[in-house]
Structure 1
Amino acid sequence: MKYVLAGSSGFLGKALARDLLADGHQVTRLVRRAPSQPSEVRWDPAAGTLDPTALEDADVLINLAGANIGRPWTPKYRNVIRESRVSTTGTLAAAAAKLDRKPVFLTQSGVGGYGKDCGDRILTEESELGDGFLSDVVRLWEGAADPAREAGVRVAALRTGVVLDHAAPAFQLMSLPFRLGFGGRLGSGDQYFPVISLTDWLRAVRHVAETESVEGPVNLTLPNPVTNKEFTKSLAGALHRPAAIPVPSFVLTTVLGEFAWELLGSNRVLPQKLESTNFTFDHPTADQAIAAALKQ
């Protein structure tokens, strides 16, 4: 199959491209600079520019582009977060809508769209999006694919939790305090913390691309939701380190501002759509996902 990939320079993009190429698929990367190899095509999502002929023989389009949310959300940076997702998705959707042979279109999204703190409430793809900045971003982000949907393209939004892998920047940051001996739960630790192993994320993306009945939002998280306290215990145990120094909520909100709610808020997310289409997880529990992440 031929995959066209936006956001190929990020951690997930590089991992997905490697995985697809290793399995014999063709990967075309969309880049914002002058192409340096035949497998690259230049585009300008800020200007909405992409030659549809570059996509003519594509089977799957995947958008993983988006600015890092792990930094202070100043008014200016909020716009960067929003536009980096909406412009890329909208540009790809408009180009896909013009094609006679319609590819599948997968766009990255996030579980943060369900709201910044949903407590113990179970969240499936049928749950409504919540309130707050990231919920608004997710509405616009997923809505930007509407031109493709309206043209008959099968569209799926990958609502992804934190992806665990030894090379993942988020996992490296989370595990560093534990490696240094001063890790601990965040806030009360009772908040549900949606995660998934890189192996299962890669397999889930392929599953969504290849399963014709899957469309709309798709949760990519563990089938066994874990709280931050449970995740902390599992990570500390896997690293043979203590987990005795909790980080109070007020410290996180003081240092990180509104982004702290990505760590303190609770999202008990279930991958209902994956499981209902016979997807099985290699690492269905936090212990297994963390163990897989620590293998190098």
Structure 2
Amino acid sequence: MVAEFSGVVSAPLAEVFAWHSLPGAFTRLAPPWQPIRIGTEAGSLRDGTAELVLPGGLKWVAAHEPAGYRPPHQFVDRLATPVLSAVLPWRHTHRFEADGPGRTVLTDRVETPVPAAALRSMFAYRYRQLAADLAAQRRYWHEPLTVAVTGASGLVGTALTALLTTGGHRVIRLVRRSARTPDERTWRPEEPDADLLAGVDAVVHLAGASVAGRFDERHRRAVRDSRIGPTRKLAELAARTADGPGVFVSASAVGFYGPDRGDEVLTEDSERGAGFLADVVEEWETAAEPAAAAGIRQVRVRTGLVLSPRGGVLRVQRPLFAAGLGGPLGSGTQWMPWIGLDDLADIYLRAVTDRALSGVVNAVAPEPVRNNEYTRTLAQVLRRPAVLTVPPIGPRLLLGRAGARELAFADQRVLPGRLLGAGHEFRHSRLRDVLAHLLGATTGADAKPVVEARK
């Protein structure tokens, strides 16, 4: 059986083909709802191999065929895992054709027994993702930079580093183990080496212990200690590195505004709230000030609830809602400041490249929703009912009373005032659109560009 899918991207042929050869391309195109992770990416579209890790540790090895390599019009890969290929043959021809000076038609021809209907959402996702990535990289174009990133292997770090490398930038991953490649440097958070940031144009500091968890003393200490001290040390190092970064971008959180703000509209100019997270965020942001004091442009990215089925709250909710066991938390009236993972990556990309952007930036979508609307929308996207209400006692048992108040029942109507004022373009402003994109639920008119299949 042969399935064929096509889509149109508003970018020149040579640019689109070249993008697929850059490190991070495979990561950017991998549908987030699929239970796979990227092992290695192919070093060459001509004769390289890529590796996907499937559930149970089974590996899908995609080998590129030299005979099928015809730049900038085609490359071919096939499944080369002996056990899998014997029962599930797969040969994928990627074709590219110019449709005028600034448009490219992509055609994916797959020879496999897998029904075309089962592949349709994956290719629709890939075309949308490619088009959006190219548009973002065009908006925030900058000559190639060297960007040092902490937390590069996390949910946000993985998405961002791939977006950076497919945009032509070099990423230096600051890792806590021994460096294994030229693009890694060993980072000791409490005592970083003096030359850690030498030759680096930008720092993106994402590392920190997960806030999710029971708010006991041990968890609070881990949240605080993983952020404040390491951020201060890194900012001080950036300040005294002569050939170091010109911009220091640090993660932050909307927890700054406190958990009980109700219908009050919160922008970057709003006062801080009360509570543990508000205290931590204030100290966390203050810890980055040595960089700004040294004349380094600084951006503090106050992030809302990051949506991705690969991590965060959506990863937990998806199986529950898919089983028909989802529902609003408590009254469901609390505001939820959300942001899609790709929009968050775009914001970090802009923070690195846009010299006019500095200070605090609220990284949230422009249309926050209440919890009951979020619940209803997620259920609709998954085509499941959501009639069960989660009583307050449930989150309190898991997170403790303080944790439930600051996480599960936080009520924050946060808007991205600075970004909107700067004319920022969001990929997804509406909750339904981002959930459908992330969960592979877009079909028919929702699938842009149009995807076609034939036997």
CA distance in 2, matches of 1:167, 1:211: 28
**Residue of 310, 317, 327 corresponding to 1:167:** 310
Determine if the alignment matches structure 1 residue 59 to structure 2 residue 201.
yes
Q: Percent identical across equivalent pairs?
A: 38
What do residues 102-130 of structure 1 show as CA deviations (whole Å, max 9, x unaligned)?
Answer: 42101111111100111000000001111
Deviation (angstroms), 1:250: 2.7
Give the structure with the larger helix fraction: 1
- Counterpart of 1:95, as a letter, is L
SS in 2 for 1:248: coil
Structure 1: unaligned runs, 5 residues or longer = none
Structure 2 length-normalised TM: 0.63
**Correspondences of 1:78-117 after superposition (within 5 Å):** 78-101=220-243, 102-117=245-260
Which amino acid is the alignment partner of residue 94 of structure 1? E
C-alpha RMSD of matched pairs (Å): 1.4
Residue 223 in 1 paired to residue 381 in 2? no
CA distance in 1, matches of 2:408, 2:193: 36
Match of 1:289? 434
1:41 to 185, 194, 202: 185
The 3-state SS of whatever aligns with 2:251 is strand
- Provide the residue aligned with 1:50 in structure 2: 193
Q: Secondary structure at the match of 2:241?
A: coil
Amino acid at match of 2:438: A
- CA distance in 1 between partners of 2:265 and 2:283 (Å): 23
Q: Secondary structure at the match of 2:263?
A: coil
State the SS of the aligned residue for 2:160: helix
Q: Which aligned segments of 4 or more residues in structure 1 are displaced greater than 6 angstroms?
A: none
Q: What's the CA shift string for 1:237-272, capped at 9, x where partnerless? A: 000000100101233223321221212121100001
What secondary structure, in the 3-state scheme, does the structure 1 residue paired with 2:185 have? strand
1:264 and 2:409 matched: yes
Of 319, 342, 355, the match for 1:199: 342
Compare 159-168 and 108-117 and name the one that shifted more. 159-168
Q: For 1:293 and 1:274, how far apart are their aligned partners in 2?
A: 23
CA positional deviation for 1:289 = 1.6
Following superposition, the deviation at residue 164 of structure 1 comes to: 1.2
Across the two proteins, how many residue pairs are aligned to each other?
Answer: 294
What's the CA shift string for 1:143-195, capped at 9, x where partnerless?
A: 00111111111111111111112322431102221011110001111100111
Say if 2:321 is the partner of 1:178: yes
User: Which of 232, 242, 246 in structure 1 is aligned with 2:389?
Assistant: 246
1:123–1:268: 8 Å Cα contact kept in structure 2? yes
Query: By how many angstroms is 1:69 displaced?
Result: 1.3
Give the AA of the match of 2:241. L
Q: Report the residue type matching 1:281 in the other structure.
A: F
Write the letter of the residue equivalent to 2:162.
Answer: R
Which has more radius of gyration?
2
Q: Does 1:10 align with 2:136?
A: no
Deviates more, 1:227-236 or 1:72-81: 72-81
The CA distance in 1 between the partners of 2:375 and 2:193, in whole Å, is 44
CA–CA distance in structure 1, aligned partners of residues 288 and 270 of structure 2: 20
CA distance in 2, matches of 1:168, 1:77: 19
Matches within 5 A, 1:129-148: 129-148=272-291
**CA distance in structure 1 between the aligned counterparts of 2:253 and 2:298, rounded to whole angstroms:** 15
Q: What is the identity, as a one-letter code, of the residue corresponding to 1:32?
A: R
Q: Tell me the distance in 1 between the aligned counterparts of 2:334 and 2:228.
A: 29
Considering fraction of residues, name the structure with more strand. Answer: 2
Query: Is the contact between residue 194 and residue 268 of structure 1 (CA under 8 Å) also seen in structure 2?
Result: yes
CA contact (8 A) 1:50 1:92 kept: no
Between 1 and 2, higher relative CO (CA 8 Å, sep ≥ 6) is seen in: 1
**2:215 paired with 1:73:** yes
Bigger shift: 196-205 or 207-216?
Answer: 207-216
- Distance in 1 between the 2:158 and 2:436 partners? 22
